[in-house]
């Protein structure tokens, strides 16, 4: 269990840089996601496929894995849209609603009872988002996109929890991201037509950020998080990822000086979100210790 939590928190730390890189990259959200998928997929092909590290899967297994890849691509699209239309701090705080959507989707999809405590903790997160949404009216478009992003992130984690019971994490990640790339490639011409860009080729500095985003914040981060999912519930994983705003916001304050543009409502909302994470960690730790005590008697 300790190793699972170590993997989880390391993946959260890497995830904290994704928002910063999304702000640094000058591409719009559609092209950013396409290049991120392209670099990641090509890298994984050479790292895993050529080395024979992947399971050979029939089409009936590739299809459900691939559909989850489309979900993660949509999550990224709306997440970076939130950052582009608002800022890093708003985008990553909205991501915290993933825990609320997980508390709803996980019981519905996996046919288990709703957990009242999970719902209460998620409502605390929701209260934080509503506090920001009510007072920071200039960021409402970004907040709406961020909420949609959180919904897709929750679905991604819940479906992944089911997949890792049957397949290894490298194989899942490989087929998911390749499917996401194929779908984004098909949709790219329509997206560029709806949201024109001055150039389809990133400038030199963007290539650096894209490689960091793809290698550290995608391949390493997702393999670590899915490794943690083997021992930890989807709700706990997503709630722990609520710490991502803390890392991202600190970096955003240092690099972009976003603290100059945020009012007290933002900090009140952030406090609610951090409190929900702390309470859940205390709860999970208590349940684990209780389980160990029962096992020893």
Question: What percentage of the chain's residues is helix, strand, coil (to nearest 5)?
Answer: 85, 0, 15
Residue 285's CB: how many other CB atoms inside 10 A? Answer: 12
Give the torsion sign (CA, 53, 179, 231, 20): positive
Q: Please give the model's pTM, rounded to 2 decimal places.
A: 0.88
Digit-coded pLDDT (tens) for 157-197 = 899 988 988 898 889 989 999 999 999 999 999 999 999 98
* Helix ranges (DSSP H) in 241-263: 244-256
- Region for residue 268 given its phi and psi (left: phi exceeds 0; alpha: psi -120 to 50; beta: otherwise): alpha
What average pLDDT does the chain have? 88
Looking at residue 110, what is its pLDDT? 87
Instruction: Say if residues 112 and 234 touch (Cβ distance below 8 Å).
Output: no
In the three-class reduction of DSSP (H, G, I as helix; E, B as strand; rest coil), residue 52 is classed as: coil
The lowest-confidence range among 14-18, 194-198, 293-297 is 293-297
Looking at the chain, the whole-number percentage of residues with pLDDT higher than 90 is 46
Instruction: Say if residues 127 and 272 touch (Cβ distance below 8 Å).
Output: yes
Domain positions in the chain: 2-296
- Report helix angle 140-163 to 59-85, nearest 10: 160
* CA–CA dist 79, 70 (Å, integer): 14
Digit-coded pLDDT (tens) for 106-160 = 999 988 888 888 888 888 888 888 888 776 678 889 999 999 999 999 999 899 9
Looking at the chain, the whole-number percentage of residues with pLDDT higher than 70 is 95
Tokens of 194: 């709806």
Residue 165's CB: how many other CB atoms inside 10 A? Answer: 8
Across residues 15-34, what is the average pLDDT?
95
The three-state DSSP-derived secondary structure of 187-208 is HHHHHHHHCCCCCCCCCHHHHH
Instruction: Say if residues 35 and 175 touch (Cβ distance below 8 Å).
Output: no
Instruction: Count Cβ atoms within 10 A of the Cβ of residue 295 and give its class: 0-12 exposed, 13-18 middle, 19 or more buried.
Output: exposed
Tokens of 7: 């993997």
Residue given tokens 């399971």 in the structure block = 55
User: Higher pLDDT residue, 1 or 267?
Assistant: 267
The lowest-confidence range among 213-217, 255-259, 278-282, 286-290 is 286-290
Give every CB contact of residue 8 below 8 A, 6+ residues apart in sequence.
224, 225, 228, 232, 237, 240
Across residues 40-54, what is the average pLDDT?
89
The three-state DSSP-derived secondary structure of 40-89 is HHHHHHHHHHCCCCCCCCCHHHHHHHHHHHHHHHHHHHHHHHHHHHCCHH
Residue given tokens 């991502």 in the structure block = 244
Instruction: Count Cβ atoms within 10 A of the Cβ of residue 212 and give its class: 0-12 exposed, 13-18 middle, 19 or more buried.
Output: middle
Residue given tokens 């894995």 in the structure block = 65
Tokens of 74: 């949509």
Digit-coded pLDDT (tens) for 60-100 = 999 999 999 999 999 999 999 999 999 999 998 888 888 88
């Amino acid at each position: 269990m300790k190793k699972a939590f170590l993997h989880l928190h390391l993946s959260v730390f890497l995830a904290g840089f994704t928002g910063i890189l999304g702000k640094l990259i000058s591409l719009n959200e559609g092209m950013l996601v396409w290049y991120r998928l392209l670099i990641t997929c090509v890298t994984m092909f050479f790292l895993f496929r050529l080395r024979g590290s992947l399971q050979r899967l029939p089409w009936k297994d590739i299809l459900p894995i691939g559909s989850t890849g489309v979900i993660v691509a949509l999550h990224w699209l709306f997440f970076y849209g939130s950052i582009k239309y608002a800022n890093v701090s708003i985008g990553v705080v909205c991501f915290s609603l993933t825990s609320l959507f997980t508390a709803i989707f996980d019981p519905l999809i996996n046919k288990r009872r709703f957990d009242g405590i999970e719902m209460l903790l998620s409502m605390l997160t929701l209260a934080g988002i509503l506090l920001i949404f009510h007072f920071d009216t200039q960021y409402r478009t970004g907040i709406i996109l961020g909420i949609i992003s959180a919904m897709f992130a929750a679905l991604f984690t819940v479906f992944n929890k089911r997949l890792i019971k049957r397949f290894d994490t490298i194989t899942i990640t490989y087929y998911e991201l390749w499917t996401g790339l194929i779908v984004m490639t098909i949709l790219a011409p329509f997206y560029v037509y709806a949201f024109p860009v001055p150039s389809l080729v990133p400038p030199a500095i963007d290539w650096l950020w894209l490689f960091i985003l793809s290698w550290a914040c995608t391949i390493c981060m997702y393999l670590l998080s899915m490794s943690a999912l083997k021992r930890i519930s989807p709700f706990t994983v997503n709630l722990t990822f609520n710490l991502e705003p803390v890392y991202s916001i600190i970096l955003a304050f240092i690099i972009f000086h976003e603290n100059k543009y945020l009012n007290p409502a933002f900090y009140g909302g952030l406090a609610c979100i951090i409190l929900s994470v702390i309470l859940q960690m205390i709860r999970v730790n208590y349940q684990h210790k209780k389980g160990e005590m029962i096992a020893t008697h």
